[in-house]
Structure 1
Amino acid sequence: MDGITDLHTLARTAYYQAGGLSDVQLASLDALSSRRQGWMRAVQSDDRTVLCAEREGELVGILAMGPPCEADLDAASVGRLYQIHVRPGLWGQGIGSHLHAAFVQFLRNTSLATGVL
């Protein structure tokens, strides 16, 4: 679980720093613990799917998907892409595209007409 949480933390730090947030705002131990617990719930969930992308034995991307969490969306026809993260430094190399394609395949395999973010 630490590898998934660490990759998520690296990715979010890179894009939020680019958006102007300070290191202090990004380094909260409570937020790290919350991310770890969230990934643990997703991995252990019966209705969520977590996929990991590896390259040469290294975790380079993660994806979480499943039913929508909004009550007004019909889980019989809608799937949700909860999170998708790629290791910084590897952006633009097709990893995110492969993970997104796995989400689209998940929609097809489960006969869901719509995907939401």
Structure 2
Amino acid sequence: TLKKGKFVFVGSGSNLRHPLYIADMLQALELAMIRDGADGELLIVGGEQALPTRTIVDSICETMKIAKPRFRIPYSLGKMLALTVESTSRLIHIEPPVSRRTLEFFDTNNAFDIA
């Protein structure tokens, strides 16, 4: 969607996401395998810093050498549109391309602090 120029920000893009780098994930898996008491425990793994969604998307675009998304709609409008798409999709028996649940990506913080 980014590459095709069809990505639309819903909301401000200021919600926080916690990116996880492959090396960090591998280290966490290794620690989970060797650390006493980790068996059966829930582990939350994240990189050093939570970043706004807008920053992450902009960074991806810079890395891919593509244009950053230009369009943004308010979250409330996105939610109304998603509800309409969900209802219509149900009527014609197709999977909705967007839903209120998928829009949570733009509204929900997904950042952790264990300090």
| TM-score, with structure 2 as normaliser | 0.29
Select the structure with the greater relative contact order (CA < 8 A; seq sep ≥ 6). 2
**Relative to total residues, which structure has the larger strand share, 1 or 2?**
1
| TM-score, with structure 1 as normaliser | 0.29
Larger radius of gyration: 2
